[in-house]
Amino acid sequence: MRILLVEDEKKIASFIERGLKAHRYAVDIAADGEKGLELAEINPYDLIILDIMLPGKDGITVCKELRAQGIDSPVMMLTAKSSVADKVHALHCGADDYLVKPFSFEEFTARVAALMRRTRKEKTSILKVGSIVLDQITHKVKTADKEIVLTPKEYSLLEYFMLNVDQVITRTMISEHVWNENFDSFSNIIDVFINNLRSKLDSNRKKSCIQTVRGVGYVLNSKSS
């Protein structure tokens, strides 16, 4: 899942980025409101984290403009302001959640996961497709009741497929949601990771659960998983 973090304090941005990447998220960072708005306009994000006090356009203004453009990605506001009036104002401007600095990173990641679940029909953190089971909290994956070890990127790739089961996923969609903006979409890295993922998932299958749709992309087929 891909997250946009708009935060001008470098130490805080670096701390949050490292923590999110440790939880298997792809992260893009913007240091001001203008750049954050630009990235959100051109990339589909699963979550946008906005500091309120930003150079250029502040977080409230960015949030308003995102909503005015019909961008409905969940938005979490970060701020040192803790008054009820400030929280209410942020929520009325289109934010989905509001977290006051300093915060516990455990609470932060729990809120991130909760915001992402809101956009899905299934609200559980356990994803199941056939014999494949993925726990979004522990990051453990099992197939046919046997735990398999995935790299962080393999995990993110499988999670994205499971969230879009039986749907054709293009290479562009994969690069936009599993990698960040620095990814070279013309390389063969996506194919390499999909082949690695297949080898771990398909050890006891006659037919791969991730099938290639020639000229289009890939699909995780629920009937063969």
Are 152 and 131 within one domain?
yes
Are 30 and 60 within one domain?
yes
Are 49 and 130 within one domain?
no
Q: Which residues contact 83 (CB under 8 A, 6 or more apart)?
A: none
Which of 48-52, 84-88, 113-117, 150-154 ranks highest by mean pLDDT? 48-52
pLDDT of residue 51: 93
Are 8 and 32 within one domain?
yes
Q: How far apart are CA 18 and CA 11, in angstroms?
A: 11
> Cα 206 to the chain's mean position, in Å?
32
Are 84 and 180 within one domain?
no
Give me the mean pLDDT over the 52-66 stretch: 92
Which residue type is seen at 36? G
Are 130 and 114 within one domain?
no
Reported for 177-180, long-range contacts at CB under 8 A and 24+ positions apart, including other chains, are 177/1, 177/2, 177/26, 177/44, 177/46, 178/2, 178/26, 178/153, 179/2, 179/26, 180/2, 180/26, 180/27, 180/28
Is the separation of the CB atoms in 209 and 201 below 8 Å? Answer: yes
Q: Which residues contact 27 (CB under 8 A, 6 or more apart)?
A: 2, 3, 4, 5, 17, 20, 21, 180
Are 26 and 56 within one domain?
yes
SS3 72: coil
Domain limits for position 141: 126-224
pLDDT of residue 123: 52
Whole-structure pTM value: 0.64
The model's pLDDT over 15-46, given as tens digits with 9 standing for 90+, comes to: 999 889 888 888 999 999 999 999 999 888 98
- Choose one of 92, 118, 144: the last residue of a domain: 118
Count, residues in the chain:
225
Q: How far apart are CA 3 and CA 26, in angstroms?
A: 6
| Residue 139, phi-psi category: left (phi > 0), alpha (psi -120 to 50), beta (remainder) | left
Are 70 and 171 within one domain?
no
What is the percent of the chain with per-residue pLDDT over 90, rounded to a whole number? 34
Give me the mean pLDDT over the 137-163 stretch: 89
pLDDT of residue 186: 61
Are 201 and 176 within one domain?
yes
Total count of domains within the chain? 2
Which CATH number does the domain housing residue 166 bear? 1.10.10.10
Are 97 and 134 within one domain?
no
Which CATH number does the domain housing residue 103 bear? 3.40.50.2300
